[in-house]
Amino acid sequence: MRKKISLLLCAVAVMLCFTACGSSQKAEDAEYNDAAIEQTTEFMIQYCTNADEEMLKEFRNMKELTLDFQLIQTGIPVTAESFLGALNAWEAAVDECGEYESHGEFTSEVTNDGYKVSADAKFSEREATITFIFDEQSYMETMTVDAKYSTKEILAKAGMNTLLGMGTVFVVLIFISFLIARFKIIPTLFGPKKKEEPVSAPAVSAPVSVPEAAPETDDTELIAVIAAAIAAAREADGMDEASAGGFFVRSIRRRPANKWKA
């Protein structure tokens, strides 16, 4: 695989050398070699188009110093960092625009960023613009592929971005409102705990004293007394002793209290 890559780079380097020698440069264009720059752009496009996954993986796993050395040997005016960046940009463009088909003529201009070379390209799904930036020594610094979108697609993307932005803002506001509503609970969770007051035992009521039942009296003595009193009263009324003693007490019943006392 490395032998295949080296042969490809050497072939491009030879082509660049012949093109550079055959082109006539003016004094004011000595700073930028237009022919060499155009050949570099064509090489990058063709290489990115034809490179398979195995070759891309080989370049990415290669150490930067080793790749720089190989690029210097082939005479291609590009550093390892710029070369890998171009490969990544092309891979992202293929995912977004589809497979590469063709491109138009290159136009160049000098900008603040350097020497800018660009061309319109056609991919299977949409068109794009390929742009190269070179430094004063005609070394490629960056390569970008910008997809072209229709007005409808741009408005759809803008609307989607607006909805996502507003949705994010509302979600954050709802979350903040939720936190503010919980501020009265947070101090109770993280603040000092209140000391628990000892629970006093319920007072025990004093036992109610139940009056003791009055002891039952001996009715025999009471009967004898009442009988003697009655006999004495009969004798006092002039009855003889035989008549006075002709009775006996069978039972004693208490009289209810008089409720009509004055």
140-147/114-123 β-pairing: unpaired
Instruction: Spell out the residues 6+ positions from residue 73 whose beta carbon is closer than 8 angstroms to its own.
Output: 9
Q: Are 70 and 95 in contact (CB under 8 A)?
A: no
Backbone angles phi, psi at 90, to 5 degrees: -70, -40
Give which of 182, 111, 186, 106 is closest to 141, Cα–Cα.
Answer: 111
Distance between CA atoms of 131 and 108, rounded to whole angstroms? 10
Sequence-separated (6 or more) residues with CB below 8 Å from residue 113 = 133
Beta bridge partners, 145, equal 130
pLDDT confidence of residue 172:
93
Q: Convert the pLDDT of each residue in 59-96 to its tens digit.
A: 788 888 888 887 788 777 888 888 888 888 998 999 98
Percent of the chain with pLDDT over 70: 65
CB neighbours of 136 closer than 8 A, spacing ≥ 6?
A: 31, 32, 114, 115
pLDDT (0 to 100) of residue 245? 54
- pLDDT band of residue 241 (cuts 50, 70, 90) is low
Q: Are 186 and 178 in contact (CB under 8 A)?
A: no
Residue-wise pLDDT tens digits, 1-11: 555 555 555 55
Domain regions of the chain by residue span: 2-152, 219-251
| pLDDT value at residue 169 | 93
- Between 49 and 212, whose confidence is greater? 49
More confident residue, 31 or 30: 31
pLDDT in tens, 186-230: 666 666 665 556 556 555 555 555 555 445 555 677 777 777 777
pLDDT tens-digit profile of 112-164?
A: 888 899 999 999 998 999 999 998 888 888 999 999 888 888 888 888 899 99
Q: How confident is the model at residue 214, as a pLDDT?
A: 47
Q: Return the pLDDT at 128.
A: 93
156 vs 184, higher pLDDT? 156
**Tokens 């006093």 appear where?**
200
What is the maximum span of the chain, computed from C-alpha positions, in angstroms?
188
First-last CA distance in the chain: 140
